[in-house]
Amino acid sequence: MDTERFEVQRQIAAAPAKIFALLCDPNGHVAIDSSGMLQSADGSPVRQVGDEFVVHMDRESLNDYPMGKYDVTVTITQFEQDKQIEWTISGALKPNIEHLYGYLLEPSDVGSLVTSYYDWSRIAEPYRGKGVFPVIPEAALRATLGILARTVEQ
């Protein structure tokens, strides 16, 4: 793999504020997930760096590793109202993996140019070379943007 980061973009006919509100809501993440791994979430909408919520996961959706059902804690690492939200996850695996997911939002003539990214360049050393990363393919980010568009353009 030549890169340790995917970025995909899509024009979405909704204002950045509407999209950002969905991305701050733990249940919004579940609603737009294309992987099928996110089953449900607990927690309040995030408002700043350091905020957290719990996502109940099911790895069987990917059928790649026999992890079954488990929980992860989502921790916000970047937060700029209506412009950027980024997070990492922690769970039972130690040390924490330290991969990042995020969205960048820019106003556009259509509504918003949305960039979704997944960055595994900072993963902890014990996970390098294990053939695990990227956890999700670039196509999954693109599919999630499609679901996001369908959700906020209603």
Structural domain boundaries in the chain: 5-152
Using pLDDT thresholds of 50, 70 and 90, give the confidence band for residue 1. Answer: very low
Tokens encoding 21? 């509100």
CATH number of 5-152: 3.30.530.20
What CA–CA distance (Å, rounded) separates 126 from 153?
42
Instruction: Give the long-range contacts of residues 74-80, CB within 8 A, separation 24 or more.
Output: 74/26, 74/29, 75/50, 75/51, 76/46, 76/48, 76/49, 76/50, 76/51, 76/52, 77/49, 78/49, 78/102, 79/46, 79/47, 79/48, 79/49, 79/51
Tokens encoding 3? 């890169």
Q: What is the pLDDT of residue 63?
A: 60
Answer with the residue of higher pLDDT: 59 or 85.
Answer: 85
Using the predicted structure, report yes or no on whether residue 47 has a pLDDT greater than 60.
Answer: yes
Average the pLDDT over 125-131 and give the result: 81
Average the pLDDT over 26-38 and give the result: 92
Average the pLDDT over 23-40 and give the result: 93
The SS3 call for residue 33 is coil
The residue assigned the tokens 């956890």 is 135
Residues with Cβ within 8 Å of residue 137, at least 6 apart in sequence: none
The pTM assigned to this predicted structure is 0.91
